[in-house]
Amino acid sequence: MMGDATEDLQSAARQQLRRIRAVSLLEGVTLVILVFVAVPLKHLAGIDAATATMGPIHGTAFLIYIWTLAHTASFFGWRKGEIFRLFLFAAVPLGAVANARWLKHKEATGAFSN
C-alpha cells in the first residue's frame, strides 16, 4: 500500500517537472522568435504586424510559464533562489535551454525538492 502512494507521488513529481520543462521551452521559443525575428522585421523592414502578433503570443506564454513556475515551486517547496533562477533565465533569449537542462537533471536524479 505505502509503495503505491510513493510511486504515485514520484510519478506526479516527474509529470510536473516535464510540464514545467515543456512550458519553459515554449516560452523560450516565443521569446527567441520575438527578439530575433519579429523585432528585426519591425525595425528593419517596417513590418509592425510581426511584433503586434508575436508580442501577445509571447506574453501569454510567459504568463503561463510564471503560473506553472509558481505551481511547481509550491508543489516541491523550492527555495527562493531556485525560483529566481528559473524566472531570470526565462527573461534571457535561449535561457529556456538552460532551464530545461536543469529541470531534466532534477528529474533524472530524483531531486524533486530541496
Task: Kindly report, residue by residue over 11-41, the tens digit of the pLDDT.
Answer: 899 999 999 999 999 999 999 999 999 999 9
Q: Is residue 40 part of a domain?
A: yes
Rounded Cα–Cα distance for residues 53 and 107 (Å)? 35
pLDDT at residue 1, as a whole number: 52
Choose among 74, 90, 97: nearest CA to 13. 74
| Dihedral, CA of residue 4, residue 108, residue 94 and residue 71, to nearest 10 | 30
The label of the residue with cell 517596417 reads: 46
Q: Is residue 12 part of a domain?
A: no
pLDDT at residue 5, as a whole number: 72
Q: Summarize the confidence of residues 42-50 as an average pLDDT.
A: 97
Predicted confidence (pLDDT) at residue 4 exceeds the cutoff of 80: no
The whole domain housing 67 covers 17-109
Categorize the per-residue pLDDT at 2 as very low, low, confident or very high, splitting at 50, 70 and 90: low
Q: Is residue 4 part of a domain?
A: no
Predicted confidence (pLDDT) at residue 8 exceeds the cutoff of 90: no
Q: Are 33 and 54 in contact (CB under 8 A)?
A: yes
Query: How many domains in the chain?
Result: 1
Residue pLDDT, tens place only, 69-106: 999 999 999 999 999 999 999 999 999 999 999 999 99
Q: Is residue 56 part of a domain?
A: yes
Categorize the per-residue pLDDT at 9 as very low, low, confident or very high, splitting at 50, 70 and 90: confident
Rounded Cα–Cα distance for residues 53 and 95 (Å)? 22
